Structure 1
Amino acid sequence: MRGVWVVSDNAAGGDGIRVSVDDRGVARIVIHRPHRMNALDGAASRAIIEALDGWSARDDIRVVVIDGEGGSFSTGADVIDIAKVAGENAGGGLDPTQARGVISGGSDLARAIRGVRAPVVAVVDGPAVGIGASVAFASDLIYATERSYFLLAFINIGLMPDGGASMSVAAAVGRARANAMALLGEKLRAAEAFDAGLITEVVADRAALDARVNAVVDKLAGLSSSALRMTKAALDAHTMGDFDAALDRELDGQTALLQSPEFQAAMSAFAGTKN
Structure 2
Amino acid sequence: MSETSETLVLVERHAGYRVLVLNRPDRLNAFNEPLHLALRAALGEAAADPDCRALIVTGAGRGFCAGQDLSARNFAPDVEPDLTRTLEAFYNPLVRQIRDLPMPLICAVNGVAAGAGASLAFHGDLVLAARSAKFLQAFAKLGLIPDAGGTWLLPRLAGRARARGMALLAEPINAEQAEAWGMIWRVIDDADLMAEAHRLAAHLASQPTYGLALIRRALDASETNDLDAQLAVESELQGEAGRTPDYREGVAAFLEKRPARFTGRRR
TM-score range, shorter chain: 0.7 to 0.9
Q: Deviations for 1:110-138, whole angstroms, at most 9, x for unmatched residues?
A: 11111112111101011000010010011
Which residue in the other structure is 1:249 paired with?
Answer: none
Quote the offset at 1:201 in angstroms.
0.2
Are residues 1:186 and 2:171 paired? Answer: yes
Structure of greater Rg: 2
Whether 1:21 aligns to 2:5 is no
Instruction: Tell me which residue corresponds to 2:64.
Output: 73
> In the TM superposition, what whole-angstrom CA distance separates every residue of 1:115-171 from its partner, at most 9, and x where no partner exists?
112111101011000010010011111001111010010010010000111111211
TM-score, scaled relative to structure 2: 0.77
Counterpart residue number, 1:63: 54
Which of 152, 155, 171 is matched with 1:170 structurally?
155
**Contact preservation (8 Å) 1:53, 1:115:** no
Matched, 1:226 2:210: yes
Counterpart for residue 78 of structure 2: 91
Residues 231-254 of structure 1 show CA distances to partners (whole Å, capped at 9, x for unaligned) of 22222221377xxxxxxxxxxxxx
Give 1:32's aligned residue.
23
Q: Once the 2 structures are TM-superposed, how far is the Cα of residue 53 of structure 1 from its aligned partner?
A: 3.1
Alpha-carbon contact 1:63-1:221 (below 8 Å) kept: yes
3-state SS in 2 of match to 1:28? strand
Distance 1:76 1:240, change over 3 A: farther
Equivalents in 2 of 1:142, 1:208: separation in Å? 14
Residues paired across the two proteins, number: 223
1:239 aligns with 2:223: yes
TM-score of the aligned structures, taking structure 1 as reference length: 0.75
Contact 2:101-2:213 at 8 Å conserved across structures: no
Greater Cα shift, 210-219 or 69-78? 210-219
Q: Deviations over 1:55-103 (max 9, x none)?
A: 334443311111101010011111011x23x3xx342642xxx432222
Contact 1:134 1:162 in 2 (8 A): yes
Structure 2 alignment gaps of length 5 or more: 226-267
Higher relative contact order (CA 8 A, sep 6+): 1
Q: What is the alpha-carbon distance in structure 2 between the residues aligned to residue 240 and residue 21 of structure 1?
A: 36
Tell me if structure 1 keeps the 8 A contact 2:64–2:113: yes
Give, in whole Å, the separation in 1 of the partners of 2:113 and 2:83. 23
Mapped contact 2:52–2:205 kept (Cα < 8 A): no
Q: What is the one-letter code of the residue matched to 1:188?
A: I
Please name the residue that 2:87 is paired with. 103
After superposition, where does 1:123-272 map in structure 2 within 5 Å?
A: 123-205=108-190, 207-239=191-223
Residue in 2 that maps onto 1:49 = 40
RMSD (Å), alpha carbons:
2.0
- Structure 1: how far apart are the matches of 2:110 and 2:119? 15
Identity of aligned residues (%): 32
Deviates more, 1:153-162 or 1:217-226: 217-226
